[in-house]
Structure 1
Amino acid sequence: MRNKKLIIPAVLVLTIALFTGCAKKEEQPGNTTTPATQTTTPTTAAITTAAGTTSAGTTSAATSTTDAVTSASIVDNAAAFEKAIGTNGTWIIAITKDVKLDKDITLEGEYKNGKKDTAGKDIIQRKVALYSQDENRNITARYTLTAPKFTIKSPEASIQHGTFKGDLYVSVKNFKLVDATVDGNVYFTSEDIKKSFSMDEKSKVTGKQEVKTT
């Protein structure tokens, strides 16, 4: 009887060892167990603009640290700027150096800035950003946009923190200058549009501000 009692535990130990060995074998690479996925974070040189941080040399959507940006165009040349201000452009256009165009240009199209008002409706806005900033929102550079004539047709538009050199023609209400200079005239298509125009104490217009219907 004593021998039988010793044999039974020994058989149990051997059986457990065999099952354990099989389980380990199934976990080896090449079987059904899924290996852990590795995540690689690419490193890229970056610049900070009025629209946030984006990879150097790109013209694309960017996430902003100062604006709730759904999409933004970061541009450094006339052709890219002209495309960005059109109806197939983006709500915010930020230049990274002085840009000069030798023809008339138009800011057109209605855009949403990705925010909601107190009633839960999308906020309409269009912003021409003529500056760069650091991560603390301090302005680090201001740029000059030059064109013979710049017509503003996008609602709730503004030019911010830089200089436009040329004449502005405004045909929408609530156009704003924010810490910006217009080195030229500002013409409005109606008296109501002129009355809705605003600029802060840091902004200035070197020429006329008047209604011009033609």
Structure 2
Amino acid sequence: MTGPKSELHHYLRAGRDALLWKLDGLGEYDIRRPLTPTGTNLLGLVKHLAGCESGYFGTVFGRPCPEPMPWLTEDAEPNADMWATADETRAEIVGLYRRVCAHSDATIEALSLESMGRVPHWPEGKNEVTLHRVLVHMTAETHRHAGHADIVRELVDGAAGMVAGNDNLAPGDAAWWSDYRARVESAATEAARRSS
């Protein structure tokens, strides 16, 4: 890495990789099933971020993605970008995300951090942005959703960790984690008891 743009781009790519890694080894049901009251699911997070990147690194800088995304139109149902229909395959959604990311990467490479763009859905007077700001915004957005994916994946099958080959977790077997969780639960129960 050399320079702020390369560093920001590196962290954006790392977030993308972490997100996609959370789908590895899971079947169709598990990548789609909603595991929170608001319906958060793994493939939906990928679909959502494809739309985000296409807008922020495409439309904002006058470099629209060539791929249609009907779930982003004004007449689309609310949250249509947050889940995959039965007709939308994993390969289609992941492939779209990879193509959008490549389009984003081309925008990042072509422009300077000071290049100006306009976010159409941000309030007037706050919608003029630099590539630097968009890179920070999309890196934060991607890592936020990669964190959601961490939790959803753990709920699906217990798999946890940051990236392939580096789980970034404390060492311990199933018994150690069970004991650890019990201690955390005990502390929460005791704190609640003391506060009442």
TM-score scaled to structure 2, two decimals?
0.23
In terms of fraction of residues, the more strand-rich structure is 1
TM-score scaled to structure 1, two decimals?
0.22
Report 1 or 2 for greater relative contact order, CA contacts < 8 Å, sequence distance ≥ 6: 2
